[in-house]
Chains A and B, each alone.
Chain A
Amino acid sequence: MASAIVIENVTKTYRMGGETLRVLGGISLEVAEGRFVALMGPSGSGKSTLLNLIGGLDVPDSGRLVVGGEDISKLSEAALARWRAANIGFVFQQYNLIPVLTAFENVELPLLLTSLSRSERRRRVELALELVGLKDRHGHLPTQLSGGQQQRVCIARAVVSDPRAILADEPTGNLDASAARDVMGLLKAVNETLGKTLVLVTHDPAAAAFAHETITLDKGSIKASPHEVPGAHP
């Protein structure tokens, strides 16, 4: 299987109030297409930073990042934005839905960047909402939805533009156990039925158990080599 994500010797350093913090020190990693990978590690291990780099929300200080066959480590901000729109779907811990837009409109948002017609956009949005089981709530505002429902809208938004990969940063962090289970199940289904490469950042082992493999990070480097999780969640 081709590698969807290739990370080669990537470093990232942050400057905070005069102090320099080396968050990632020379990480190398490969994720095959269609794989569901979990990144785990304690707070400050750099897992979120790595996710942001994969998603083109940030650029590495050194090293190479090839996602979907494209070297994104050297792209400009505008180019990254365009690339991101076409290739990546994000799911955040904080849902990050736009409060004044309905569920439908939130899911539609990424499609506004394309040249699809109105009817085509509607078709895709309805499909995505159906996938996450919220078709009947399409006219609701985020404030009218529960936490779990909001997160599912986010997942719908993440898949609606048919991205190459889905990146989820602590998607269950603000959810109770039951809602978390639903969301993880949904993500798993997206990975399996749609074949989307999925990289999950989490500190919750129960969530990581849904993935094909778990990679552990500590202090900016990979601690344990990738291993298959025996008996991955049915």
Chain B
Amino acid sequence: MKYLALILKSLVRSRRRTLLTLSALAASTFLLTGLASMVRSADVTPGVGELTLSIGGVQGPLPSAHVDRIARMPGVRAVMGFMYAGGAGRQESDRLTLAGIDADALQLIWPDTLDIPPSEFEPFRRDVTGLLVGREAAKRNGWTIGDTVTLAVSAGNGSKADMTFRVHGFNVEGAWGNISYIHRKYLNESIGRPDYANSIFLSAQRREDIPTLMKAIDETFAASPHPTRTQTHEQSLTDTVATMSNLRALLGGISLIVGIAVLLIATNSMALALRARAREIAIMRTLGFTPNRIFSLVLGEAALVGLAAGLLGAAVAIVTLQGITLPMNPRAAFSATPAAAGTVIGATVVLAVVGAWLPAWGACRRRAIDVLRSLG
């Protein structure tokens, strides 16, 4: 690493140039980290249960009795009723998305909830007034585990109630992270509708059973006052999936543009630096530094700057981009993650080195003696 000192000295030589380069690259890295995190959390697929079926009523909500009936059908591993509601936090404008569920079946049916640590999920399961808050909502309202919160809850049909909950934990990050989970039983009782659910979800035991199961369910209730319409979880999420993949494509496009900016800035600043140091490089070549050696020094410098800028930009991103709701999907919240940062930092280093290639080549192109002569 005897050359490290040499590289560092070169960077310190023009503090202004190094600083400007560093900040320009860091700003771009900040954006890339944010974008990468957004793309990751716009991925709805973790929440899509392969074995999950979604059962809705053709004409409205379904009676809770259906849940029991379905639970007894062969091939059903777990079933739960689902009620959605809105809860208002401290301000009327601060709305929470509440999902009233049956906790015993939840993790089997909506697989992304498996990521909720048992230390948070278990207390929630046992406490019927329990609340697992969506990430972003928790940050917005400043709630932590153990807090007691009262929300003005309104169900889809207009019924309202004030309900008091105890916070036991938080929902995981990602496309579904902004949903807050409560017990359906508690919700139904509080709004005075103990006997119905907006929809029913179940987890089948085997993939092969699904087509038969779907048919069986709909047939069972076809003649009843509350006929059902069963879909796979995937089918029910077509619109969300399509929207999210559109969003990811868009974010990907913007990331590409910002990536090009990084390449451009890296090439540009290295070209400037080498032009300013043309004489020194020629001197070193007269001393016997081979073009390859010069190359390594230049690329090493680029890698160092890329790394420093990457770390800086990613660090700022992680600190500032926390708990932000995706504009197109209020159920999703994202924060800049170290994983995304790591990828972005690596990419920045690579782009910086690639960008330095052409200027480095240009610095070794002419004979050293010609360079010295032309510079006087």
Contact = CB atoms under 8 A, between A and B. Distances in A.
Chains A and B directly touch (beta carbon < 8 Å): yes
Interface of A: 52, 55, 57-58, 77-78, 81-86, 90, 92, 94, 96-101, 109-110, 112-113, 118, 157
Which of B13, B286, B288, B376: most chain A Cβ within 10 A? B288
B369 A52 contact: yes
Contacts of B2: 112, 118
A101 B8 CA distance: 11
Contacts of A83: 288
B111 interface: no
Contact count band on B = 20 to 34
Given A100-B13, A112-B2, A86 B288 contact: yes
A155 to B, nearest CB: 14
B289 interface: yes
Contact of A81 (B6, B279, B280, B285): B285
B368 interface: yes
A57 B286 contact: yes
Contacts of B376: 94
Contact of B288 (A82, A94, A100): A82
Which of A82, A99, A100: most chain B Cβ within 10 A? A100
B229 to A, nearest CB: 74
Which of A55, A97, A113: most chain B Cβ within 10 A? A113
Nearest to B14: A100
Contacts of B284: 98, 109
Contacts of A92: 372
A99 B287 CA distance: 16
A166 B9 CA distance: 28
A81 B288 CA distance: 4
Contacts of A52: 369
B250 to A, nearest CB: 46
B282 to A, nearest CB: 8
Contacts of B280: 98-99
Chain B's interface: helix, strand, loop or mixed, by majority? helix
Given A57-B369, A112-B3, A100 B289 contact: no
Nearest to A85: B288
Interface stretch (B147-155, B207-215, B290-298): B290-298
Contacts of A55: 286
Nearest to B285: A81
B289 A78 contact: no
A117 B291 CA distance: 23
A93 B286 CA distance: 14
A57 B9 contact: no
7 contacts: A57-B369, A82-B290, A85-B287, A96-B283, A96-B372, A112-B2, A112-B6
A176 to B, nearest CB: 20
Contacts of B10: 100
Contacts of B58: none
Contacts of B285: 81
B367 A81 contact: no
B291 A81 contact: yes
Contact of A57 (B6, B291, B293, B368): B368
B285 to A, nearest CB: 7
A96 B279 contact: yes
A86 to B, nearest CB: 7
Nearest to B368: A57
A84 B283 contact: no
